Amino acid sequence: MLRKLLLGVFTTLALPAYALDGDILIHDPSTVTAHAGRYYTYGTGNGLPILTSDDGWTWRRTGSLMSALPDGKPGTEVLTRGGNNTWAPDVIHIGDKFFLYYSAPGIQPKSAIGLLIGRTLDPTSPDYHWEDGGPVVWSDGIEDSNAIDPGVLLAPDGRLWLTYGSYFGYIRLVELDPKTGKRRYPDRAPVNVAINSEASIPIYHDGWYYLLVTHGSCCQGANSTYNIRMGRSRKVTGPYLDNMGIDMLEGGGKLFAASRGRHIGPGHFGLLDLAPGVQKFSLHYEADLDRGGASVLDIRPLLWRDGWPIAGDNLVAGTYAIQSARTGTVLELAVQGFPVGGFRPRRPGGTGPPPEPQSGPPVADQEPGQVSAQWPATTDVRLAPAMLQAQQKWTIAPVANAGGYPGSPFFRIMVAGTERSLTAAPGGELTAVAFNGAPEQLWRIDQLTDGSYRIAPKSIAGAPAALVLSAAGSSMPTLAKVDPTSDRQRWLLESP
C-alpha cells in the first residue's frame, strides 16, 4: 500500500530522507557558494578540503584550498597570531573578488582568523590563485573570546560584517572593508553579540538582522548535541534577542534546527539565496546514521514565518494531492472521474423533513485499477476540485542517477499506481505519458520561503527559458515563465 504522507505548508510528518549524494563527508562547511556553474564548499581539515558539485545534489572532493598557496599553509603572521590548524572557513563573493576567512587555532583560546583573496573558486581556471591576506582578527588566549568560526554578511547597505567565536566567551562582530576584506576600523573594539556558541553567522531579512549560531557540542558522532539557534535585532550590532526576549549575550537562542530522523547534530548554517522566493541553507550534520555516523553536508529549504526563519525539509517520496495556491483545485489526469465508493442518488428535495442521516461501513480508498479501464493511453492534465479520486493522487519519487539541484534529486511525478508521468510537452503545455526518463519528465520541486512549492521540469526541448508549473485558470495548468510574486506558480503538496 502506498505510503500516505501529510505535508503541510510549514510542517511535515515525514522525516527528511536525503542528505545529498556523492562524497559529502565534511565538517564545519562554509556557506555553499555558486560560481561559474558550479557549487563549492570548504571544510575543517588539513588545508581546508574542497567539495564541488555541478548541480548542488551530487558532490565530489576536489583537493584542498591551501594547496594553492605557495607554502601550502597559512602565512607567517596568521601562524603567529593563531596556530597551524585550518578549520571552519566561510567565503563571500564581492565584486570580482572572493574573500575566504578561515580559522587558524593554536592552543585555544589562542587563535586567529585568516583571510585568503581570490578571483575564482574554479581550480581549473587559469585565474585560480589565492593570496594570503593575513590575520583579520585574533584572540590572545586570555581574553573572553576564541577567534574561530568566521561568518560573513554583506548587508543591503553595502557594509560587510564578520562574526566569530566559540565556547571560550563571546561571539564578536567586526566591520570589514568590502574592498579589501580586512577590518575597516582595526582600532575599534569588537562588539560582543552572543556568548558560548559556535559557527555564528549574521543574515539580513526584511528589516531585521539575524544571528545564527550553533549550540551544543560537536565532534562526537551520534553523541554530539549540536543544534542551530538564533536571535534577531534591528541593528547589526545587536542586541540579538530570541523569541522569549532573552539576549544571546545571556545564552538566549530560539531553536532553528535540531536533530531529526537519521541526522544528528545540525550545525554551521549558511544562507543560499538561489532565486526570488527560493532560499536554502547549507549545514552539516554531526552524524548521518545512513553513512555510518559520519559528518556530512546537507542543503535544506529556508522558510519564513512570523519574522523568523524556519528550517524546511527537502521533499520526500510519497503520494500527494498537488493543489494550486491560486485556485484551490488539484492536478489530475483529464479523464472522467468516478466518485469514491460509487455513485449515489441525490437526496430528494421537497417540503418534508430531511431523512435522518445514516452511517455505514467504511468506504475504501479509490485505486486506479477500479476506474482506469477507460483511460486513454495518453491524456492531458487539468485542475479540478479535490475529490480523492484515483486520477488526482500523484506519487512523487526521486529518479536515481538523473542529477538534481541544491538539496534534492530530480523527481518523477506519476499518477499513483500507474506509469502515467507528468510530462512537459512542447509549447509549454502538459501531458501524462509513460515514464521514459526524459528531461521533460524530471521535475525540480523547490520549497519556497512561504512553505509552498515551485514545480519545474528539468528542461524542455526548444524552450527559450525556464518554465514552471502555473495555474492558468481554475481548471487549466500550464508551464510559464517564473513569476515569483504570483500564486499561480505556488503549489501545496497535501495528503490526498
Binding site for another protein (CB under 8 A): 25-28, 43-46, 49, 87, 107-108, 144, 166-169, 195-197, 215-221, 225, 246, 250-253, 286, 292-295
Q: How far is the CB of 297 from another protein (least distance, A)?
A: 12
Q: How far is the CB of 376 from another protein (least distance, A)?
A: 54
Q: How far is the CB of 38 from another protein (least distance, A)?
A: 21
The dihedral formed by the CA atoms of 457, 463, 464 and 467, expressed in degrees to the nearest 10: -30
Name the residues annotated as catalytic.
28, 198
CA 396 to chain centre: 19
Q: Which helix (H) or strand (E) holds 163?
A: strand 160-164
CA distance 129 to 403: 30
Residue closer to another protein by CB (options 293, 428) is 293
Residue closer to another protein by CB (options 180, 220) is 220
Q: How far is the CB of 242 from another protein (least distance, A)?
A: 10
Residue closer to another protein by CB (options 227, 441) is 227
* 411: Cβ contacts below 8 Å, ≥ 6 apart: 315, 317, 396, 397, 398, 399, 442, 443, 444, 445
Q: How far is the CB of 286 from another protein (least distance, A)?
A: 7
How many C-beta atoms lie closer than 10 Å to residue 431's C-beta? 18
Q: How far is the CB of 411 from another protein (least distance, A)?
A: 31
Residue type at position 255: L
HSE of 462 in the Cβ direction (CA atoms, 13 Å)? 6
Nearest to 191 by CA among 182, 181, 180, 183: 183
Residue closer to another protein by CB (options 160, 195) is 195
Residue closer to another protein by CB (options 144, 487) is 144
Q: How far is the CB of 232 from another protein (least distance, A)?
A: 17
* 408: Cβ contacts below 8 Å, ≥ 6 apart: 18, 57, 314, 315, 398, 444, 445
Could you give the angle at the alpha carbon of 216 between the alpha carbons of 107 and 152, nearest 5°?
70
DSSP 8-state assignment for residue 42: E
What grid cell was written down for 11?
A: 510542517
The dihedral formed by the CA atoms of 150, 283, 208 and 326, expressed in degrees to the nearest 10: 160
Residue closer to another protein by CB (options 103, 327) is 103
DSSP strand E in 13-71: where? 21-22, 33-35, 38-42, 49-53, 58-64
CA distance 300 to 216: 21
Residue closer to another protein by CB (options 168, 281) is 168
